[in-house]
A and B are shown apart, each in its own frame.
Chain A
Amino acid sequence: MLGRRAAALAEARESAAHVLRASAVGLRIDESVLLMPTDVSLSGAECVVLRGPNGSGKTTLLRILAGTVPPSEGEATLDGSPVDERHDLTRTAIAALIGAPATYRDLTLVDHLVLIDSTWGRVGAPADNRADEMLELLEIKHLAQRFPHELSSGQQQLFHLSMVLVRPSSILILDEPEQRLDTDKRDLLTRILLARKAAGSSMLIACHDPAMTEALADAIVDIQPA
């Protein structure tokens, strides 16, 4: 029953265009300002790139818009409702890579992708195929039977990206997806993200790579440090 419910939710919401909006969103903890009030709006097949020096609050803004951290001022909404990662709608619509995601030390790379895909209610052989295809897409198919602790730093990043890209979503939130990748892999990632955008995905990306930014960005938001 849960499988059918998840599948129905995924199907119904994956195709829908969502509006993710941050209105004067900021975060303050006591006297420390982690993020100055900022506006961001994202809808349809659009890519917004966040830029700014280290410590300006890019990751904090991404966390707020992924619904894992509540803002102390302003409002972050998804289709008019507050963004909260515990809500079904938020989790179904948004796939986020902000920091290292949870991995299991006793599962191989391909096992992780099959597990993630299946828990979204997409059952049967296609889930196995999708896992293989995703590894192939990111050119890490040869690592399918490795465990997460057996990967290099760059391979870890590609694996983390594959975990986010394999699950159904209509909005991608990525925090510096280019980090630890060589030039070829950055080009590959750019092509993959462009394809996702062409297929209708919205993207909010914090990025330090000028070439990636130029290729992907429909709009750029410069975050000002506090």
Chain B
Amino acid sequence: MTGEQKAQLRRVRAAILGNRPDTSASSTLYPVYVAVIAAGTYGVPATQQLFRSIDQKWLAEHLQTPAAAIAAVVLAALLLTVVRFVGQVHGPVVPPLPYLELVVASPMPRKVTLARNWRLSSAGCTFGGLLVGLVLGSGGAITNMFPPVVMLPTTLGGALLGVFVAEFWLRGQLRGQPGTAPPSTSATGSEHGASMRGRRLNALALLDISGLKRQSASNVTIGGAVLAGDLRTVRLDAARPTTSARRVRLRAGGPLMVIARRDVLGLRRAPWSAVFGLGFTAAGSAGLMLSLLSPHTSTIAPLVSLLLCHLGFGTWCEGLRLHADNSGTSRLLGLPYRDTALAHLAVPVLGWTLTTVAVSAGLSLAGLFNPAALVWALGTGALLAGTHLMAAFRGLPPIGVFGPQAGVLSMIFWYSKPLLATLLVGTVMAAWAVRSPAPLSVFAWMLILTTGVFAWGLALVGKRDRRS
């Protein structure tokens, strides 16, 4: 950026601010301050608990193996892939609409007008990565998992990962705007061998105004919806419009069959949802069944497994959520509202059952098959169906959670109820079953609680039906 360009931007900022004081520095530093406090207060103790709950000897042995290095690389690659996807919906460079209209659309070079936003996002990612690395390192050092000197590589590694996260996030934003080639194939081609900083600035120059406006408008919508507690609007706004597999046609069938076929078609048109669902569900059901093999397994194992199960099952429930989203509009389907909701559970439940049986077959090849664990995991499908009914039909939060007494925690608790139901019922029952001398009675309790959760979900469906 030339001195003249800097001066021009200063004048623009002064014009935008008018007589108001420039609070950008304090508003940038405040999140940093909060993040540092939160990391020290919650992050380090939580990491200590995590390390203490894991078999330290086992971890120390496995951390230095090639498999651990491969796992770390795979996890980092997975994170970067997800970040790239996020960038397509919400990138790191999203100035407010007036700034886009008045400044970014002007003849000033885009890499100059957008540089400040990029610097903030990039620094935030790097600092966030550094903080995560520091928290992990210090948690391990305090619990004597490894010597304090290891904090240095974990911190530097975290910061480096943060740099890559920012880079992939920006590439995702570029990829998300239609008709723009990624920087590696077009603009950067002419500056082959330029520094990473140079390439980033070129990437900024490639961001088009319509893409930036779309993301900025979406930012406003999503921000407003989050403040109003309307996660449905957030989900619908963040989702990319479907355009794939348009030539595949829904075939007619009976009323229930056509709903199931419609859900399969929806997943075919969103293949990544299907794949993520399969991955999470397979990992979760495997973890759940393995955690039921020994009474010495930590409670964390079924907890994490059920979290994966909940996420995986949820990605297959888009048809159910869309049905819930459409309540309140003129109904055209011949099936009653409640029956349609139940029909939308057919595909995720079938997917869960097939995945669990396949995973169980895989475990039996490794000599880890346990019929009771398989039955338990299959039964968990009913619990997941119930909690996803709750999630899809929960509607908007009650007015009470917006009150001055309630606060953010009430809102988070209200939204997390379906997830908490999965984790609480699933984990407590699994931990009890594996330690109980009479697992059949625990299974009976599991059935009762699952029935209760499912009935809760159906009650919410009925509530939406009456309101629509």
Contacts and interface: CB of A to CB of B under 8 A. Distances in A.
Contact of A147 (B246, B257, B330, B335): B246
Interface in B281-326: 318, 322, 325-326
B330 A104 contact: no
A6 B255 contact: yes
B334 A120 contact: yes
B251 interface: yes
A128 B250 CA distance: 9
Given A111-B265, A147-B246, A96 B330 contact: yes
B252 to A, nearest CB: 3
Contact of B258 (A66, A106, A118): A118
B335 A86 contact: no
Contacts of A107: 250, 262, 265-266
Contacts of A97: 330
A12 interface: no
B200 interface: no
Interface in A84-103: 85-86, 88, 91-92, 95-102
A123 B256 CA distance: 11
Contacts of A66: 330
Contacts of A98: 330
A75 interface: no
B243, B249, B330: which has the most chain A beta carbons within 10 Å? B330
Nearest to A118: B258
Interface residues of A, number: 50
B318 A121 contact: no
A117 to B, nearest CB: 7
B330 A68 contact: yes
Nearest to B254: A3
B331 A91 contact: yes
Contacts of B330: 66, 68, 96-99, 101-102, 164
B243 to A, nearest CB: 7
Contacts of B249: 108, 110-111, 114, 128
B259 A119 contact: yes
A149 interface: yes
A167 B247 contact: no
A177 to B, nearest CB: 13
B270 interface: yes
B269 interface: yes
Contact of B318 (A106, A111, A124): A106
B167 to A, nearest CB: 31
A98 B258 CA distance: 25
A29 interface: no
Contacts of A100: 329
B255 A145 contact: no
B333 interface: yes
A127 interface: yes
Given A6-B334, A91-B331, A119-B334, A105 B246 contact: no
A139 to B, nearest CB: 20
B241 A149 contact: yes
Interface string B47-66: 00000000000000000000
Nearest to A117: B252
Interface of A: 2-3, 6, 10, 66, 68, 85-86, 88, 91-92, 95-102, 104-108, 110-111, 114-128, 131, 145-147, 149-150, 163-164, 167
13 contacts: A2-B256, A2-B339, A3-B254, A3-B256, A86-B337, A99-B330, A100-B329, A104-B326, A105-B242, A114-B251, A114-B252, A116-B333, A167-B334
10 closest A-B pairs by beta carbon, nearest first, are A102-B326, A127-B252, A120-B334, A3-B254, A118-B258, A111-B250, A119-B334, A102-B329, A119-B333, A106-B266
